[in-house]
Amino acid sequence: MSLFKYIIRWARRKLQLTAYFLVIIVKEVKKQVNMKKVYIETLGCQMNKSDSERILGMLSHFGYEETTEPKEADFLIINTCSIRQLSADKAYSCVGVWGKWKKERNENLKIGFCGCVAQQDKEKLQKRFPYVDLVFGPSNLYQLPELVKRIEQGEKVCAVSERPYITDESQFEIKRAQSLNAWIPIMEGCDNFCTYCIVPFTRGRERSREPEKIIAEAKKAIENGFKEITLLGQNVDSYGKGLGEEVTLANLLRELNKIEGKFRIRFVTSYPTDISDDLIKAVGECEKVCEYFHIPMQSGSTTLLKDMNRRYTREEYGKIVKKIRKAFENVTITSDFIAGFPGETEEQFNETLSAIDEFELDYSNTAAYSPREKTKAARWVDKFIDEETKMKRLAILNEKNREACLKSNQKFVGKTLEILVESFEEKDGKIILAGRARNNKIAHFEGKKELVGEFVNVKITKASTWHVAGELE
């Protein structure tokens, strides 16, 4: 072949390749241009956060990518919580604003309403918000791909069922938040029917995931760089019911502990009497499981606990707490309390305050009683506590909680804690790192921002109400 012909052939091949890559580039640009954006407002508990991550994963199959700016979105979704009326009101307010945007700016904007309020108020929502395109409950989460197709064809859809939609959840990816902690649901629902609680009506009866699916999800999270996994359930330590005698939270922890790598395992939320001796033993055996228990008490009065249909007494709760504290030196035990439950006397309220002291609770979530439709206590109108008294008791309870938290933090001054560094901020020319200990204590200390995502040892030198401070060792 002559040199001239060789050059001609080479040039043609080069031009063909260039054209090929230009086609690829053009297609990718078109793809990005056509990419739709979704914004999710998540209210409520960790389970809702996990659900939102799964929603994002499913929507990615439809060409949606997440945006943090709601005004940029083609699809707005609010994932709601109905545990208190304040949360529901916040959801209604948010959707009201979105409706104005749709009317004034973009009639093609899609709006979705999901979560526990959707499950509870399904009949009312589409009447109240006719511009909402999609309403779906927690049980219909994995039906979302089908539902999105329908609303994109112009249909208004309400999909709220009592029974969970069954599908192979593993076919969908999870778009986890940019964090070090992976939320992993292991069971859902509750069978306890506390008289104040809407969860059995919004999340249904207890049902557990197969351990194989949980372990596979945990392994993938660890492989993707997550340093903590938190096992979720409305009543997490009842995990395994209906799956066989060997399927328990304790045994699940043992299996997860075998996964290779440096990471931590947590679990929330526990029902007091479901905390077995074997579970406490497993936490002690498994070096990756954190010494942290969140055990809602709700009231320090045995009489009121009976009215709440909490299936334990003050004394039984105390025995569980003491057993845990005996097993672990640096354990943190947190709780939940309700102020102003129907019929609560001043004496009973004071029993709650004394329980925080007696059981040395490290921190508590607090709330004033909020009547929820369908619950038994909501019908006890003649026993309702007036708002002024409820708010007064809540303020006193919060002050007791602050005292307890400070006292708890002071116990760790002089001790060294292993901290997973989660974030940093620049303050007065210094880099201040923040992270959590195994027992969930938040620590602030000076260091390099490159340490975010790493485990470090910090000697605690100071205690404040909500965190401790220290120095890198």
pLDDT number for residue 34: 63
Indicate if the pLDDT at residue 66 is higher than 80.
yes
Q: How confident is the model at residue 24 (pLDDT cuts 50, 70, 90)?
A: low
77-118 pLDDT, tens digit each: 999 999 888 899 999 999 999 999 999 988 899 999 999 999
Q: State mean pLDDT over 230-242.
A: 94
pLDDT number for residue 100: 95
- What's the pTM value of the predicted model, to 2 decimals? 0.88
30-52 pLDDT, tens digit each: 444 468 999 999 999 999 999 99
Whether 338 contacts 196, CB under 8 Å: yes
Q: Which residues have a Cβ under 8 Å from the Cβ of 31 and sit 6 or more positions away?
A: none
Distances in Å between the Cα of 454 and the Cα atoms of 65, 154, 308, 448 are 29, 48, 43, 11
What's the CA gap between 64 and 77, in Å, rounded? Answer: 12
298-333 pLDDT, tens digit each: 999 999 999 999 999 999 999 999 999 999 999 999
pLDDT number for residue 449: 94
pLDDT number for residue 379: 97
Q: State mean pLDDT over 15-28.
A: 50
Q: How confident is the model at residue 157 (pLDDT cuts 50, 70, 90)?
A: very high
8-state DSSP, 259: S
398-447 pLDDT, tens digit each: 999 999 999 999 999 999 999 999 999 998 889 999 999 999 999 999 99
Percent of the chain predicted with pLDDT > 70: 92
Q: How confident is the model at residue 56 (pLDDT cuts 50, 70, 90)?
A: very high
Mean pLDDT of the chain: 92
Indicate if the pLDDT at residue 167 is higher than 90.
no
Query: Exposed, middle or buried by CB within 10 Å (0-12, 13-18, 19+), for 247?
Result: middle
What's the CA gap between 70 and 95, in Å, rounded? Answer: 12
Give which of 369, 293, 277 is closest to 331, Cα–Cα.
293
182-204 pLDDT, tens digit each: 999 999 999 999 999 999 999 99
Sign of CA dihedral 60, 116, 215, 170: negative
Q: How confident is the model at residue 5 (pLDDT cuts 50, 70, 90)?
A: low
Of 80-89, 167-176, 347-356, which range is least confident?
167-176
Whether 192 contacts 241, CB under 8 Å: no
- Pairing label, strands 228-232, 264-268: parallel
Sign of CA dihedral 224, 62, 214, 176: positive
Indicate if the pLDDT at residue 13 is higher than 80.
no
